[in-house]
Amino acid sequence: MNVAILSPEISLGAAAAVILLAEAFSAGNLSRVAILALATLGIAVSAAFLIPAQLAGVPTSSFSGAFIQNGFTIYFKLLMLMATFLVLLGSGRFLAQAEGRRAELVALVLLTTAALMLLVSSTELITLYISLEMASLSTAFLAAWMKHQERSAEAGLKFFLLNALSSAVLLYGIALLYGITGQTQLNGIARELVGGATPALLLALALLLAGFGFKVSAVPFHMWTPDVYEGAPTPITAYLSVASKAAGFAVIVRVLQTALPGVQTEWVGLIAILAAVTMTVGNIVAMVQTNIKRMLAYSTIAQAGYILVGVAAGTGQGLGAVLFYLAAYTATNLGAFIAIVEIADRTGSERTSDFAGLHARAPWLAFALAISLLSLAGLPPLAGFFAKIYVFWAAIQTGLGWLVLLGVLNSAISLFYYAQVIHHMYMVPAPSPAPGRSLPTLVAGLTVAIAGVFALGIFSGFFMGLAETAARTLTQ
């Protein structure tokens, strides 16, 4: 048993413990900057364990094959560490105002990230379930963080109840899979499934997809997303929309590719249908939203639809495209949400119409939000454009042309509501100048995210190469 393989996760847990202890010993007066510094140290140490392992390139596994470390898991872990770092930087005044409880908040975010990192590394269903629940339960608390505000408490409760329901459905699927194969190891399941699809197996597959579909908010399991995204504190929404979603896709891809290659025809069909419905519903409902967080919630649902197109493609190239898409999506969505954290903080409103004339009041925020929205819509030369190209190209090559056509139509629809926000910010005159300056940490976080959006777009070939290399280790 090689416990050292857990070092990246343990570093995050240790950082969380240190933050909580430092808070206790300083009688609750630990400054925001000190907490951020400790969290950054934890994240950096965690990454420092991952990068040499990546360069060594040797896949290792431990705990009787329940936990694996290879290029695929390291890619996702580095992505999630980056996302966590940017969310903490970009949390702005929310962290400054969470008096007395900000150490707990940061510690809980670090522990959630550790759970998500365990999740992407699990190759055994018990480990997978425990990590999933560990992440979900702390997420429910994070969503309900402003517990004296009705919408935040309600967001937490809604997330919790629907998540518990989806976990139960997922578990029943796992139970059936265990009954059919007698295995809980993912590759053991693949070994046993040689006879093709049986009705029980199809039921298990459907239940699994329903459970995982909830985690990545695929339609029709998306009902919680707009409510939770709107009600939760904005930095937490940002975290949920990138880190949790990336982990969710990592799990879907891993389970489908390593445990269920025997029923690939069946799940490709189901995922393709999910993808088609998800992107269409997400985009159409996003058009009528007036609250920017709600609009972005539907936009993330639509983005999940595009990513599912890549999952449905299922080839090595498709997986590489999914990994690249998740990186592009992480940078872009963080850019959008960090900008919204600050804009909503200054204007006191999350309504799209109150963003009028923002470019005159806060040019950098308006520019960052505009770039993020254009990248989400998929305009060149931004990250979102190349992400869509790669995903659609992989899907065309596996004969999913109809899905790609639908995806392109959806991208055109999405431009409508993204452009509306930009129109408000740049074309409508400003009502009154908003006071206040942004915190330097927030500006730094926003700048890194926007730089990521440009870098992933301009050097897309290089990053796509990294993603494909990482994806290849999954099926080895």
Partner 1 sequence: MPPAFPPLYPITLQHGLILGAALFSIGLAGALTKRNSIVILMAIEVMLNGVNVTFVAFARQLEPAVLTGQVFALFIITVAAAEAAVGLALIIAIYHLRHSVQIDEANELQG
Helix, coil or strand: residue 303: helix
Q: Contact between 288 and partner 1 (CB under 8 A)?
A: no
**Residue 61: enclosing H or E segment and its boundaries?**
strand 60-62
Tell me which of 25, 150, 408, 427 binds partner 1, using CB under 8 A.
150
Tell me which of 75, 76, 85, 160 binds partner 1, using CB under 8 A.
160
Tell me which of 165, 197, 270, 284 binds partner 1, using CB under 8 A.
165
Q: Contact between 192 and partner 1 (CB under 8 A)?
A: no
Applying CB under 8 A, the span of 78-86, 159-167, 239-247, 438-446 interacting with partner 1 comes to: 159-167
- Report the b/e string of 176-209 with b at 16+ CB within 10 A: bbeebbebbbbebbbeebeeeeeeebeebbbbbb
Task: Work out the number of other CB atoms within 10 angstroms of the CB of residue 52.
Answer: 8
| Closer CB to partner 1, 145 or 249, in the complex | 145
| Closer CB to partner 1, 160 or 249, in the complex | 160
Task: Work out the number of other CB atoms within 10 angstroms of the CB of residue 355.
Answer: 28
Contact call for residues 329 and 307 (beta carbons, < 8 A): yes
The distance of closest approach from Cβ of residue 250 to partner 1 in the complex, given in angstroms and rounded to an integer, is 21
The distance of closest approach from Cβ of residue 103 to partner 1 in the complex, given in angstroms and rounded to an integer, is 19
Tell me which of 12, 176, 252, 256 binds partner 1, using CB under 8 A.
176
| CA–CA distance, 194 with 458 (Å, rounded to integer) | 44
| CA–CA distance, 180 with 351 (Å, rounded to integer) | 51
State residue 185 phi and psi, 5-degree precision: -75, 135
**Chain residues 15-34 in contact with partner 1, contact rule CB under 8 A:** none
The distance of closest approach from Cβ of residue 287 to partner 1 in the complex, given in angstroms and rounded to an integer, is 16
The distance of closest approach from Cβ of residue 297 to partner 1 in the complex, given in angstroms and rounded to an integer, is 11
| Closer CB to partner 1, 178 or 367, in the complex | 178
State residue 256 phi and psi, 5-degree precision: -65, -40
| CA–CA distance, 439 with 91 (Å, rounded to integer) | 10
Q: Contact between 147 and partner 1 (CB under 8 A)?
A: yes
Contact call for residues 215 and 248 (beta carbons, < 8 A): yes
| Closer CB to partner 1, 147 or 423, in the complex | 147
**Chain residues 195-254 in contact with partner 1, contact rule CB under 8 A:** 223, 226-227, 230-231
Contact call for residues 151 and 138 (beta carbons, < 8 A): no
Tell me which of 34, 40, 61, 154 binds partner 1, using CB under 8 A.
154
Among the listed residues 417, 396, 397, the one whose alpha carbon sits nearest the alpha carbon of residue 407: 396
Tell me which of 17, 20, 34, 164 binds partner 1, using CB under 8 A.
164
Tell me which of 33, 161, 273, 412 binds partner 1, using CB under 8 A.
161
Tell me which of 32, 102, 158, 346 binds partner 1, using CB under 8 A.
158
In the shown chain, the binding pattern of residues 95 to 124 toward partner 1, with x for contact by CB under 8 A and - for none, equals: ------------------------------
| CA–CA distance, 38 with 40 (Å, rounded to integer) | 5
Tell me which of 27, 55, 56, 148 binds partner 1, using CB under 8 A.
148
Contact call for residues 404 and 396 (beta carbons, < 8 A): yes
Three-state SS string across 75-137, please? HHHHHHHHHHHHHHHHCCHHHHHCCCCHHHHHHHHHHHHHHHHHHHHECEHHHHHHHHHHHHH
Applying CB under 8 A, the span of 11-19, 179-187, 407-415, 430-438 interacting with partner 1 comes to: 179-187
Applying CB under 8 A, the span of 75-83, 132-140, 249-257, 445-453 interacting with partner 1 comes to: 132-140
| CA–CA distance, 469 with 462 (Å, rounded to integer) | 11
The distance of closest approach from Cβ of residue 288 to partner 1 in the complex, given in angstroms and rounded to an integer, is 12
Tell me which of 18, 137, 413, 466 binds partner 1, using CB under 8 A.
137
Tell me which of 151, 316, 393, 426 binds partner 1, using CB under 8 A.
151
Residues paired with 69 in a beta bridge: 60
- Contacts with partner 1, residue ranges (CB under 8 A): 125-126, 129-130, 133, 137, 140-141, 144, 147-148, 150-151, 153-158, 160-161, 164-165, 168-169, 171-172, 174-176, 178-179, 182-184, 223, 226-227, 230-231
